[in-house]
Amino acid sequence: MQRADQTSKPAANIAVAVYATRELSLRDFDHAAWAGAPPVQITRYWSGADAPAERYAEARLLWSETSLLVRYVCPQAEPLVVAAHPQTEKKTIGLWDRDVCEIFLAPDPNVVERYFEFEAAPTGEWIDLAIHWTPEKRETDWDFHSGMTSGARVEKDRIAILMRIPWDDWIHKPQKGERWRANLFRCVGKGETRGYLAWQPTRLPEPAFHLPSVFGWLHFQ
């Protein structure tokens, strides 16, 4: 699996999705195409405080004619917090209460308060949601169906998670050079020591990721 130091680092608030001419499968964790995607390092908690290295996450992004692919690689130095009997046939409500990696996407950068939430767990479980955020409330479309799929690989001391998000009427296929708003996250651990890591920290009083005004930029290269 490719390590973080094999490509140059992106700017602090820019993630780059590199075009892939080949359609990768959810088992292609080690495909050479990932080496060409700049790593996005997720190293801070939602508050902006530095997280310990054993909780970091690295994300890389590829896009193709059919979909967006996101790969997370995370050290796993503590027991997994996962479902005893996972199911992957449908979305798992409440997945955010366990170990999970997430990406929020706002395809229209002029309407960043309307965005999509995608999560996947080390078990291969997943959830997709459509969000309309306002300062007063957050409206969630629990029945939103993107057609996303996910895969996972658990090793002795790290995990890898893949998400595939297909293009459709809601999440259109981008043009090269297009920019969306986005944020990436990892939730790990449980209880009082549970960690909520964010690429672009929200710095809210309590652990929370839903603040579109702090989203970074996703550049399609």
Question: What pLDDT was estimated at residue 10?
Answer: 58
Domains of the chain by start residue, with CATH: 11-21+36-220 (2.60.40.1190)
Question: What pLDDT was estimated at residue 11?
Answer: 78
C-alpha closest to that of 120 among 131, 130, 112, 128: 128
Question: What pLDDT was estimated at residue 9?
Answer: 60
Question: What pLDDT was estimated at residue 85?
Answer: 95
Question: What pLDDT was estimated at residue 6?
Answer: 46
Q: Return the SS3 of 33.
A: helix
Question: What pLDDT was estimated at residue 3?
Answer: 42
Amino acid letter, residue 174: P
The CB-side HSE value for 83 (13 A sphere, CA atoms) comes to 18
Amino acid letter, residue 81: V
CB-count burial class (<10 Å; 0-12, 13-18, 19+) for 101: buried
At 141-192, the pLDDT tens digits run 999 999 999 999 999 999 999 999 999 999 999 999 999 999 999 999 999 9
Tokens for 43, please give them: 């190293």
**Parts of the chain with a pLDDT under 50:** 2-7
Which residues, 6 or more positions from 70, have their beta carbon under 8 angstroms from its beta carbon? Answer: 59, 60, 61, 103, 118, 162, 163, 165, 184
